[in-house]
Amino acid sequence: MANEVIDNQQDSITQSVSQRYATAVTNGEQMCCPTGYNHADLGQFIPEAVLKVSYGCGTPVGLSTVQPGEVVLDIGSGGGIDCFEASRKVGATGKVIGIDMTDEMLSLARTHAPTVAKNLGYPASNVDFRKGFADAMPVEDDQVDLIISNCVINLAPDKKKVFREMFRVLQPGGRFTISDIVADQPIPQYMIHDRAKWGDCLSGALTVQDYWGGLREAGFLGLHQVTVIPWRVIDGIHFVSVTLTGYKIATTPSSISPIFATLIGPFSQAEDELGTIFHRGAPQQIDDQTVCLLTLPSYQPHFLLTDRPTTLTDQDPRRLAVYPEEAPCTWEGHFAILTGPFLAVSDDDNHTYRCGEPLEICSKTLKVLQHPHYQPSFGTINRAREAATAEPVICGTSTGCC
């Protein structure tokens, strides 16, 4: 009985969201999420009717990695804007699949698909719009090179099912780049049961810890942020627009000779997604699965992989470290969130950050995390309701700063 109630609640949420977006097609309502499309560029081949119903919380930046001939899947394709941009990227030999649950959106996208194909100079459209749900996708196993999604997974009641479906349809070696809204703390029940806030990208928001955790549980690795932008603060909850990438690692190869990995930094210590802990400058032999992991784009900048142990001394130019200023600091309300790819990292000022868990930081640590070596791995928020007026303190264990 309990499962039946949950299923009914989830179906009700899905129907409510679908109706909200169906209505938006006809009345031109501007939906909630932040977005950043270049309409001038897209308007060269995409009809205005599609452009004006483009909803999302980030541009499909993953399309910058697309190669001609690849297969791209868009979860929640809406009016088709991201699918049509993907169509341009994959070329006439590639294929794009768009999945949406709303008939009005599908009708709009299908109507304009031939026009887009003609504008691109294709003999026929290479975009296939299918009706379906994110947690039960009408796509065969191991068929897709790249999954994109723009502020849609947030709307799904059971995101773990969505993540499992994403892993199923991706071929080994495939990847995803998705934009979504996440929160710095769990969403309270009064928001979860507010139907209107589901359509506003609020009620369905997971924390970074739960979102990243669900993706890893499904089998994805190499999770890392591409962009992170603070969006809204409601009842003390910070909602953030984030674009992230992850990978379905291909079959593990068999190394002929031993491979050693040396953490070059900027972290003094780091734990990868397989649970291996590395110390900066200290080489250690790694197995084939870890080799596959550390050669992913999100890990490559942090490691030196060699066929013999290679130690990095403090004087080695390849070693990376960012030290805090030798000066008093202030508490200004900033919190840092590690967004991957590591499960945990330590800096050179005695802080340990765990993926998805907000950690309060002082002004000096904020400057460290804004350094180009650190910035790609962190998002920051400020929870102070008013401008902080705390007196400067000398960093130390007694101040809670180090």
Domain for residue 259, yes or no?
Answer: no
pLDDT of res. 372 = 97
CATH number at residue 37: 3.40.50.150
In-domain check, residue 135: yes
Note the pLDDT of residue 195.
74
Q: Are 53 and 78 in contact (CB under 8 A)?
A: yes
Peptide bond into 341 cis (omega under 30): yes
Mean pLDDT, consecutive 10-residue segments, the chain of 402 residues? 44 48 48 65 89 69 87 95 94 97 94 96 97 96 96 90 98 95 93 76 90 98 94 92 94 77 98 98 96 96 96 97 92 95 96 97 96 97 80 62 58
- Judge contact between 81 and 116, C-beta under 8 A: no
What is the spatial distance between Cα 291 and Cα 303, in angstroms, rounded to a whole number? 11
Q: Which residue range is the domain that position 371 belongs to?
A: 334-389
- Cα gap 323→139, rounded to integer Å: 49
Q: Return the pLDDT at 392.
A: 73
CA dihedral of residues 173, 100, 53, 15 (deg, nearest 10): -130
d(CA 263, CA 311) in angstroms, rounded, equals: 9
* Residue 98 belongs to a domain: yes
Residue pair 122/90 in contact (Cβ under 8 Å)? The answer is no
- Give the pTM: 0.87
The answer to whether the beta carbons of residues 224 and 62 sit under 8 Å apart is no
Please indicate, yes or no, whether residues 230 and 135 belong to a single structural domain of this protein. yes
CB 303 within 8 A of CB 283: no
The vertex-354 CA angle with 348 and 358, nearest 5°, equals 100
| Residue-wise pLDDT tens digits, 74-102 | 999 999 999 999 999 999 999 999 999 99
Residue 151 and residue 39 in one domain: yes
* pLDDT for position 255: 64
Q: What are the two backbone dihedrals, phi and then psi, of residue 363, each rounded to the nearest 5 degrees?
A: -65, -35
How far is residue 325's CA from residue 252's CA, in Å, rounded to a whole number? 43
DSSP 217-256: HHT-EEEEEEEEEEEEEETTEEEEEEEEEEE-PPPPP--S
Total domain count, the chain: 2
Q: Is residue 348 part of a domain?
A: yes
Q: Is 360 helix (H, G, I), strand (E, B) or coil?
A: strand
Per-residue model confidence (pLDDT) at position 142: 97
pLDDT (0 to 100) of residue 370: 97
Q: Does residue 285 lie within any of the structural domains?
A: no
| Bridge partner residues of 75 (DSSP) | 99, 149
In the listed set 247, 277, 295, which residue is the last one of a domain according to the structure? 247
Judgement on whether residues 219 and 103 belong to the same structural domain of the protein: yes
Same domain, 169 and 68: yes
Nearest Cα neighbor of 332 from 243, 267, 401, 241 is: 401
Pair 288, 255: CB distance under 8 Å:
yes
- Are 361 and 234 in the same domain? no
- Of 207, 224, 247, which one is at a domain's C-terminal end? 247
Q: Is residue 307 part of a domain?
A: no
Tell me whether residue 301 is in a domain: no
| Last-in-domain residue among 247, 263, 295 | 247
Predicted local confidence at residue 13, as pLDDT:
45
The answer as to whether 292 is a domain residue is no
Same domain assignment for residues 13 and 118 = yes
At 304-316, the pLDDT tens digits run: 999 999 999 999 9
If one counts every other C-beta atom within 10 angstroms of the C-beta of residue 88, the result is 20
